[in-house]
A and B are shown apart, each in its own frame.
Chain A
């Protein structure tokens, strides 16, 4: 008998309000392990709220979130062990060196210093930043800081990587480098990735796409499936059609 592997992330009927304002409304979707899933939505769509719920920064008000079968609400410690997070906002300590930031993160996961240093060396080599290991983060470029944040997210060897608009504010080359690097993690290491963005050009044909608009999931599936659902030729047109349709429906009601 074989046991099917649970989804990397399973979001089930999640709703979230800030006072009277509803940020998420009955959001449901799941991501198959070892896939690159794009959470596509405009600013204010609810992407960051969803990320805060996945990472336990917010308490789940309604619904359920499971990471590889572990309930974030009930077994948050087990669930969070399997998640690496890159926030939209920079969260590195600017006054510490690159390697100090990484070993601090290792400590927060209960990883001893010598092991943390070895892992830091390993991930820094992967992102081609070994030569900057002892530099203060303050002296790095925006793209390099992002790479360090990704390295940090990978340090405790998570199975799921969640990135909230990680390319915001970066130049074209840095964006492409980071995207290529994260995609390689899926192919080479079998990592599962949830990548939030509002940039259509970051989506590739092989991706799993979740269109989030005004706190609701409008479409979910492979790119061809989303195109079929919207009856559009490209993902940009599909996104416009889906979101305009929803806006019109809301205005009409």
Chain B
């Protein structure tokens, strides 16, 4: 049996179906890797559930939530923090995907991706979509468990929230990817994750409404307002009640584009941080 070598005629560009095949392949591989890491799935769920069942239950009596949009009545504190915890899952997932990119760079697997003839921007965007796609089943599993805890959104809200989750997942994934490009070693990145995850989560509207933050500290309020995570939380909170928070949508959309462009440039072999360090565009 012989393997034919490619014919000589000039072949330029790729058909849209080939881009779709490539994207599907990258998402499929990310999904398989996720399935092989069952501990990651468990950890992704345990973290927000601890916040929901222990932290929120304990603070329910202390932290009252007044009627603020999108809520039309008084709500339990558990209901208030649910969107923030959904985003916490996506935040960790985005960082985890980026951590695996740093790992792949160290181990050399990243080269397989980067020597593909597909445009590099497309490969990196696909990687981003794949990371985001993996976060969705985690978020919906969390919502299903929360539903049994009587934390319920309107039935249509579970569908309406999907585009918001896609956008916020892309934004957080792109941020992680950008961070991974400046981190040369796995250990450095793991450390840097803590400097991003916790300030982003705590300095946001995930755990307390911003009007309460403003009462406590006006400076912190402005920090929270500038935090893209706040807007991702609000986007999801409103979407869960079939509403759109336009300002949050604009901020999350803008940040997604900004972080994505930054990450793509960072992984560019001629311009990126990796090139400056003498690292082959993602490989080592």
Contact = CB atoms under 8 A, between A and B. Distances in A.
Given A52-B283, A58-B275, A93 B117 contact: no
Interface in B2-27: 2-6, 8, 10-15, 17-19, 21-22, 24-26
Interface string B139-153: 000000000000000
Interface string A51-72: 0100111110000000010000
A91 B3 contact: no
Contact of A77 (B118, B271, B282): B118
B269 interface: yes
B217 interface: no
Given A57-B281, A57-B282, A189 B2 contact: yes
B1 interface: yes
A80 B29 contact: no
A122 B32 contact: no
Residue from B6, B25, B113 having most chain A Cβ neighbours under 10 A: B25
B5 A52 contact: no
B163 interface: no
> Which of A87, A91, A105 has most chain B Cβ within 10 Å?
A91
B3 A80 contact: no
Nearest to A191: B5
Contact of B270 (A19, A59, A159): A59
Contacts of B249: none
Interface string B153-196: 00000000000000000000000000000000000000000000
B117 A78 contact: yes
A130 B33 CA distance: 23
A108 B283 contact: no
B70 interface: no
Majority-rule SS of B interface residues = loop
Given A81-B11, A110-B15, A188-B2, A96 B282 contact: no
A18 B175 CA distance: 28
A77 B13 CA distance: 7
Contacts of B26: 107-108
Contact of B112 (A108, A157, A185, A191): A108
Contacts of B118: 77, 108-110
Contacts of A79: 117
B230 to A, nearest CB: 36
B58 interface: no
Interface string A155-181: 011110000000000000000000000
B137 to A, nearest CB: 19
A113 B119 CA distance: 20
Interface residues of A, number: 54
Interface residues of B, number: 50
A42 interface: no
Contacts of A59: 268-271, 275, 281
A105 B112 contact: yes
B161 to A, nearest CB: 30
A108 B8 CA distance: 21
B6 A57 contact: no
B21 A82 contact: no
A162 to B, nearest CB: 10
A231 interface: no
Interface string A184-220: 0100111100000000000000000000000000000
Interface in B232-284: 268-271, 275, 278, 280-284
A154 B114 CA distance: 17
A126 B3 contact: yes
A80 B14 CA distance: 13
A55 B24 CA distance: 23
Nearest to B109: A91
A70 to B, nearest CB: 8
A19 B33 CA distance: 36
Nearest to B113: A108
A6 B182 CA distance: 40
B69 interface: no
A110 B118 CA distance: 8
B116 interface: yes
Nearest to B269: A59
Given A18-B278, A58-B269, A190-B5, A110 B18 contact: yes
A110 B21 contact: yes
A87 B115 CA distance: 11
Contacts of B283: 52, 57, 87
B108 A90 contact: yes
4 pairs of A and B residues whose beta carbons are closest in the complex: A107-B25, A110-B18, A59-B270, A57-B280
Interface of A: 5, 18-19, 52, 55-59, 68, 75-83, 85, 87, 89-93, 95-96, 100, 103-113, 122-123, 125-126, 154, 156-159, 185, 188-191
10 contacts: A5-B8, A55-B115, A56-B269, A59-B269, A75-B12, A81-B11, A89-B107, A91-B112, A93-B29, A113-B21
